[in-house]
Amino acid sequence: MTLNIPHKDRPCVVIVGGGCAGLRLAIALAGTEYQVVLIDRNNHHQLSPLLPAVVSGRLDVDEASLSIRELLRPFGSDIQFRMAEVQRVRPAEKRIETSAGILGYDFLVIATGTKPRCIPMQKSANLIPAGRLNDTLAIRYRIVRNFEQALLTRNRAERQSYLSFVVVGGDETGAALAATLARTVHRLTKEEYPDSFGEDVCVYLIESGPRLVRQFSETGSERLYRELANLGVKIMCRTTAVACKGCRLIFQDGSYLSSRCIIWSADRRGEIPEGFEGNAITESGRLTVDPFLRVAGYDRIFAIGEVAQIRTPETDAPRRTAPHEGIGQARTLAATLRARLKHDAPVSYRIRTQPIVVPLGDAEAITEQKSHTVCGFAAWRSWLADTLRIAPPGKRLRTLRLALKSALGSPKYTRPIPHEEFCSDRPKHAANAVSGARIKKSRRKTAETQPILCTFVHRTYPKHVQ
């Protein structure tokens, strides 16, 4: 054992990912004969259903997240937590490489979730991925910053790019973000910037497929289309984004859309560390698992949550794994690992498809239940029940209070904006005058010192040296 984890004469279960599935599995294995080690790149557990409320300003960042160590405190030394990033898996050696060192395991569980795969090789300051707590905070900053920059801009085309907000990806995450953005920017226009922009503020939702939220039926997708259109969202289906250059989002047909806030939620892929071979990774970027949640080709490696894709004759196509479904997989895997101690047969996971709920803000949502589309407050109650179901143990009352605040609370738009975030669009020559001098000096140094000096300049002016 490394990473300063005390060695115990017990089988070690290493869980990578502190989300809903990984956290529930660690808690379920506490008090058993296993030594449980939980690894996550962050020290917080985010409440994903509450992230849109952070964008709208109704919740603070610390309200939509919980400390992992606080959640694990009641279990004492039964669960060891380390904040690190897993980079590579060595199945033959039963070890993993992390940013803090190498760690051995007897059983490895991948519960890292998914992330949107942004346009490859296109790094733009205007492109923000969706789904993470830090990215949600960046979106909130960007909304207010764009309004302030629009007031300082005389050029109409440039001003319109500041007032255009684009969400790429018509899945449930993208639809919920588009609805939140539409409500937020229109309220912000009326309350904080009256008589300044008029009808110039626009929210776009881009979807490459023929309809929104493919898990919905055609009737449900059409109903969602109408609800978003009533909120002022301009929906563009059958439109594929292929590049992002500066503030231009370029589509497959050659047209483009100018925006200083492009939120990418399309093409979600599993966050899988390197080292997996064969048919372990599917075309959709997830780990192939059998009904016992074992990764294909590996007997001691498991995967649960969104990163896992169960391959059966009925579920061969990629499917979304809801958070509460990941919790069910964690319970099944915990029973399987306990059965291994007794040399009993493993427990298979039964797929139970749950209805997808898309929150629309202001205590409204849309869902499909038994081929019937439900919209409004009744659907929002289903969203509230799902949110409470995935809340960590002992935090349901807190989650209930925050869920009600996210739907009925008063937004706070006057948030402080970091100075670097506001000045990110200043003329580049102001920074290049300084950074250029430093780069010129670095050329006089030896080849060994050049990377160090260039790294220093990159960290000093990250958005102008790129």
Residues of the chain with CATH 3.50.50.60: 12-41+84-114+269-341
What is the model's pLDDT at position 444? 38
Task: Give the confidence band of 451 by pLDDT, cuts at 50, 70, 90.
Answer: very low
Q: Which range is least confidently modeled, 28-32, 260-264, 280-284, 336-340?
A: 280-284
Looking at 356-418, which runs of residues are DSSP E strands? Answer: 357-359, 365-369, 372-376
What is the model's pLDDT at position 429? 38
Among residues 192, 130, 190, the alpha carbon closest in space to that of 165 is found at 130
Residues of the chain with CATH 3.50.50.100: 127-266+357-408
Distance of alpha carbon 450 from alpha carbon 466, whole angstroms: 16
Mean of the per-residue pLDDT values for the chain?
Answer: 83
What is the model's pLDDT at position 26? 95
Alpha carbon separation from 335 to 79, 338, 340 (Å, rounded): 17, 5, 9
Q: Which range is least confidently modeled, 155-169, 252-266, 280-294, 431-445?
A: 431-445
Query: Does the structure show a pLDDT above 50 at 426?
Result: no
> Which backbone phi and psi does 328 adopt, to 5 degrees?
-65, -35
What is the model's pLDDT at position 1? 54
Superfamily of domain 12-41+84-114+269-341: FAD/NAD(P)-binding domain (3.50.50.60)
Distance of alpha carbon 456 from alpha carbon 439, whole angstroms: 10
Task: Give the confidence band of 332 by pLDDT, cuts at 50, 70, 90.
Answer: very high
> Which backbone phi and psi does 186 adopt, to 5 degrees?
-75, -40
Bridge partners (DSSP) listed for residue 368: 373
User: What is the average per-residue pLDDT within 320-339?
Assistant: 87
Task: Give the confidence band of 417 by pLDDT, cuts at 50, 70, 90.
Answer: low
User: What is the average per-residue pLDDT within 108-122?
Assistant: 79
How many C-beta neighbours within 10 Å does residue 422 have? 14
Order of all β-strands in the sheet with 301-303: 79-83, 35-40, 12-16, 107-110, 301-303
Take residue 103 and report the two structure tokens written for it.
Answer: 């760690």
Q: At which residue do the structure tokens 């007997």 appear?
A: 299
Query: Does the structure show a pLDDT above 50 at 334?
Result: yes
Bridge partners (DSSP) listed for residue 372: 369
Task: Give the confidence band of 41 by pLDDT, cuts at 50, 70, 90.
Answer: very high
Distance of alpha carbon 189 from alpha carbon 292, whole angstroms: 52
User: What is the average per-residue pLDDT within 34-40?
Assistant: 94
pTM as predicted: 0.84
The string of pLDDT tens digits covering residues 147-186 is 999 999 989 999 999 999 999 999 889 999 999 999 999 9
97 three-state secondary structure: strand
Take residue 444 and report the two structure tokens written for it.
Answer: 């006089």
What is the model's pLDDT at position 320? 61
In the DSSP assignment, the letter for residue 446 is -
% pLDDT > 70, the chain: 84
Q: Which fold has domain 127-266+357-408?
A: FAD/NAD(P)-binding domain (3.50.50)
Between residues 405 and 4, the one the model is more confident about: 405
Query: Does the structure show a pLDDT above 70 at 13?
Result: yes
What is the model's pLDDT at position 416? 58
Take residue 9 and report the two structure tokens written for it.
Answer: 């004469």
How many residues are present in the chain?
Answer: 466
Query: Does the structure show a pLDDT above 80 at 122?
Result: no
Query: Does the structure show a pLDDT above 80 at 283?
Result: yes
